[in-house]
Structure 1
Amino acid sequence: MAADLAAAGHIRSKEWRAAIESVPREEFIPEFFTKVDRADGPTLWDPTPARSGNDGWLRAVYEDISHVTQLNGEITAADVPEAIDGNPTSSSTMPSLVARMWEDLEVEDGNRVLEIGTGTGYSAALGCYRLGEDNLTSVEFDPQVAARAGRALGRAGFRPHLVVGDGEAGAPGTAPYDRIIATCSFRYVPKAWLEQSKPGTIILVTLFGWLGGTGLVKLTVTGDGTAEGRFLPGYVSFMPSRAHNPEPAVIPELSEAASSRSTSLGPEVLTTYGPAQLVAQLAVPEAQHITFGPGGDLPEHLLVQPDESYAALRGAAGTWTVEQGGPRQLWDEVERAVAEWRAAGEPGIENFRVTVTPQEQRVDIHGGTSWSLPTG
């Protein structure tokens, strides 16, 4: 696995290659779920535990894929005898992304690192190997996940500072930190992380939103409560910090009096990963996207937000009609933001910059267009 990651450019230094060659990943995922897609029902998750004696288990552990390790905030593969329905709530990240992020963090000998999201503990073990366990603090929200990670780290010979709590609060007990790395995603950069940093601290975090836009951001702390940085190229997606998930969307009453018009901008801006999706999300950060099957009374695509503003898209490629209701014209705002991005030359995600101050957090693109991130 280490040789493959190095050949693909994910490992770029001898220090991280040594860590990945030395830390046994199987200690951290003794069981996991395998996704089972079905045409006639919901996706199922099949338990793949080590205890089954399946020869393919160890090979799967060292594949460059993410493994789901928990469903619905409590169920592990060791808890069930057969495939079940459920929502993934914890996982072991694909090794190539773990390696890339540690490399992008630019750690130096003696650096104190705060990791947000212990998960299985595999990433924390790599950090311990590279920097020493006294220099690694890891925070996990879920007590059961944290306990399993602690046991796995112990089996592998590592005892970092483990904290059970909300990662948004950081870990003031071992601050300040030289580096902060998050293995779950956030809608904004938590204020506590900057308070537990110092000028020059590097923060690596995936910023996401409720329309699916996501990207890995690398920031450098520049002063008291301030930081600057940019999105890194490539697609990166992590499970959200649980406090940053939205409340279930409420479908509003679709008014017959709502304004309706044609639109050249179709729902692909909501369904296709890329800078246009991120821009749409920045324009309406409180909105959620709901889809319905064709041919019914409900629209194929619906944007809704808590103030009962909505935008309903009906039609097909090139012939979309949008109906808007509530206090905000959501689709107007999406169209305006996408038009500004196009006028700037359709820059890629790596051209989006992030500025953090005590007063606000903003994302801007070349040409001066910028949007505020939600901060609570």
Structure 2
Amino acid sequence: MTAPDIDAVAARLRQQLADHLATDGWLRSRQWRAAVEDVPRHEFVPRFYVETDAPGLTTWEPITPELIGVEEWLRRVYADDTLITQFDGRDIDWTDPKPISDAHPTSSSTLPALVVRMLEDLLVDDGMTVLEIGTGTGYSTALLTRRLGAGRVASVETDPGVAARARDALTRCGYAPRLLSGDGLRGYPGAPPFDRTIATMGVRSIPSAWVEQTRPGGIIVSTLRGWMRSLGLVRLTVGADRNAQGRFLTGEPSFMIARQQDAPESLGMIPAPGEGDARDTGHGPELLTMPDSGFIAQLAMPTARCFTLPGDDGAPATYVLDAAHGSFAVLAPLNGGGWTVRQGGPVRLWDDMEKALALWGAAGSPGPTAFGLTVTAGTQHVWLGTPDGPNWKLPAAA
């Protein structure tokens, strides 16, 4: 296939992608549609990995034009999928790509539906400036630059190698935003305040630098997440007092967590059999993974992680461990049905979770869009209903 053929096929696939995103309701404005139709995503992901359906360990397979052919490669590029470009913070050896298992994705080109949804939710107008945290492959940076112009977009990428590849791709495509390789949680030091700030990775709480570098009246769009799950997409407005407040737009989107805020490698000590105080509970471990109750559990236990292993009697048990406080909760099934919980440490994790569930249930068990976030210089808390309603403190930003 010749280069002109690639350009023609790619242009047709971009049109199809724009149609798909518009039909699904993610692409709503003509300006962002023009950007999706113009920006060549294939220039930003010349090689990538996608998850397979193989049983057992999660496995990713390499996708390159040489391995599957140019037309199929282009089709995969312009599908509404996330394309993985890095694992465990290390560059991929593309001289002889092999399937990868038991690895942790650390950079990607996010599925276009989420990228476009966040760009639309950013509520930009002509002439505005935008700070993007997390350049990644540079694809979303290119969309922003196509929409607003090079002098109005700045982007920060933590990983130097990822940043260099994004810079090369942006230059090759004729886009010239301001690019910085550095700690994205520190924003873009020295720049004038931006009208909008958008983050393409998950954070446990909103860094103060993002608020300080967004003008009063400006908007921040980011995903919040914890060590158990994502909380969702939030949009904040910065006030004249340099505080910020807003609501969750959805509880669904999930980005890779910022590397600076990732969970420690140690899960904490698994409690010995019989350690702690045991009691019956009306809540089983499924509430940790269900969409709405999982949101509540993450708020109630912000520094905990959970997993399942054989328990004291050999039956599967769910462990909730909080390495920050040395606390634990162990859920095990009862022979006659129901569950027992065994807790220990300075924080009663399951007690806190049940209290949060009760508050949520009393409010009618609403979805994440009923919650909001308030950010001040000293604290950040998620609230239910109104800022004066039940609230849960987020971990301090790094």
TM-score tier (shorter):
over 0.9
User: What SS class does the counterpart of residue 312 from structure 1 fall into?
Assistant: strand
Range 103-112 or range 365-374, more displaced: 365-374
**How many angstroms does 1:255 deviate by?**
5.2
Shift in alpha-carbon separation, 1:67–1:294, aligned structure 2, 3 A: farther
Please say if residues 200 and 222 of structure 1, whose CA atoms lie closer than 8 Å, have aligned partners that are also in contact. Answer: yes
Range 183-192 or range 164-173, more displaced: 164-173
1:231 matches 2:248: yes
Shift in alpha-carbon separation, 1:295–1:46, aligned structure 2, 3 A: farther
1:269 matches 2:274: no
Which residue of structure 2 aligns with residue 117 of structure 1? 134
1:52 matches 2:99: no
Query: Residues 1-376 of structure 1: matches in 2 within 5 Å?
Result: 1-39=17-55, 41-52=56-67, 54=69, 55-76=71-92, 78-85=94-101, 86-248=103-265, 249-254=267-272, 256-274=274-292, 276-292=293-309, 297=314, 300-306=317-323, 307-315=325-333, 319-366=338-385, 368-376=389-397
Distance 2:221 2:85 in 1: 23
Please say if residues 31 and 77 of structure 1, whose CA atoms lie closer than 8 Å, have aligned partners that are also in contact. Answer: no
Please say if residues 39 and 143 of structure 2, whose CA atoms lie closer than 8 Å, have aligned partners that are also in contact. Answer: yes
For 1:105-139, what per-residue CA distance to the aligned partner results, in whole angstroms no more than 9, with x for missing partners?
A: 01111111000000110000000000001111001
Q: In structure 1, give the amino acid aligned to 2:233.
A: L
Distance 2:315 2:128 in 1: 54
Distance 2:303 2:20 in 1: 41
Distance 1:136 1:257 in 2: 55
Please say if residues 137 and 174 of structure 1, whose CA atoms lie closer than 8 Å, have aligned partners that are also in contact. Answer: no
Distance 1:60 1:293 in 2: 40
**How many angstroms does 1:319 deviate by?**
1.2
Shift in alpha-carbon separation, 1:220–1:213, aligned structure 2, 3 A: same
Please say if residues 135 and 157 of structure 2, whose CA atoms lie closer than 8 Å, have aligned partners that are also in contact. Answer: yes
User: What SS class does the counterpart of residue 78 from structure 1 fall into?
Assistant: coil
The TM-score, its normalising length taken from structure 2, stands at 0.90
Unaligned runs of 5+ in 1: none
Distance 1:62 1:364 in 2: 38
Distance 1:318 1:239 in 2: 37
**How many angstroms does 1:94 deviate by?**
0.7
User: What SS class does the counterpart of residue 331 from structure 1 fall into?
Assistant: helix
User: What SS class does the counterpart of residue 205 from structure 2 fall into?
Assistant: coil
Distance 1:153 1:61 in 2: 17
Which residue of structure 1 aligns with residue 5 of structure 2? none
Distance 2:346 2:251 in 1: 36
Please say if residues 194 and 224 of structure 1, whose CA atoms lie closer than 8 Å, have aligned partners that are also in contact. Answer: no
Range 246-255 or range 17-26, more displaced: 246-255
Q: In structure 1, give the amino acid aligned to 2:303.
A: E
**How many angstroms does 1:80 deviate by?**
4.0
Please say if residues 137 and 160 of structure 1, whose CA atoms lie closer than 8 Å, have aligned partners that are also in contact. Answer: yes
Unaligned runs of 5+ in 2: 1-16
User: What SS class does the counterpart of residue 89 from structure 1 fall into?
Assistant: strand
Distance 1:297 1:4 in 2: 49
The TM-score, its normalising length taken from structure 1, stands at 0.95
User: Pairwise CA RMSD of aligned residues?
Assistant: 1.8
Identity level (%): 47
Distance 1:318 1:370 in 2: 33
User: What SS class does the counterpart of residue 200 from structure 1 fall into?
Assistant: strand
Please say if residues 221 and 234 of structure 2, whose CA atoms lie closer than 8 Å, have aligned partners that are also in contact. Answer: yes
- Report the count of equivalent residues: 374
Distance 1:134 1:195 in 2: 20
Please say if residues 266 and 318 of structure 1, whose CA atoms lie closer than 8 Å, have aligned partners that are also in contact. Answer: no
For 1:328-370, what per-residue CA distance to the aligned partner results, in whole angstroms no more than 9, with x for missing partners?
A: 2111110111111001111111010111111111111127111
For 1:238-264, what per-residue CA distance to the aligned partner results, in whole angstroms no more than 9, with x for missing partners?
A: 000001111021233325242111111
Distance 1:24 1:345 in 2: 46
**How many angstroms does 1:75 deviate by?**
3.2
Please say if residues 64 and 96 of structure 1, whose CA atoms lie closer than 8 Å, have aligned partners that are also in contact. Answer: yes
